[in-house]
Amino acid sequence: MLRKISYLLSVSLVLCSMSAFSKPSTGERPKPPTFSEMDANGDGSVTFKEFSRIKLPARLDAISVFGQIDNDDDGHLSEQEVKSFRPPRPVRQ
């Protein structure tokens, strides 16, 4: 009887560990798109129309994010502006 219990416990542990490795992690953050992915027409700058096509987290507004990245307020994002942008850290409560 003890041998059966030990065997069943071993099998269930193996099955549990296999399922843990086969599932994708839900805690991973999606990576932001590269500049070339945002620059749909390949002209070297990203307009708001191109920027608005990318999927942002629901809590973010495309207009305000675009404005934060566009340092020189020319209405276009350069590759340098996109690379140097660091989103603000959330406030801890």
Cα distances from 41 to residues 44, 74, 76, 81, in angstroms, run 8, 18, 13, 18
Number of domains in the chain: 1
pLDDT in tens, 49-76: 999 999 888 888 999 999 999 999 999 9
| HSE of 44, CA atoms in CB hemisphere, 13 A | 0
Paired residues of 47 in beta bridges: 76
Specify the CATH number for the domain of residue 44.
1.10.238.10
- Convert the pLDDT of each residue in 3-19 to its tens digit: 655 444 444 454 545 44
Q: What is the pLDDT of residue 8?
A: 44
pTM of the predicted structure, to 2 decimals: 0.63
* Residue span of the structural domain in which 39 resides: 35-84
Residue 15 lies in a domain: no
**Residue 79 covered by a domain:** yes
pLDDT of 46: 96
Grouping H, G, I as helix, E, B as strand and the rest as coil, residue 35 is: helix
Residue 44 lies in a domain: yes
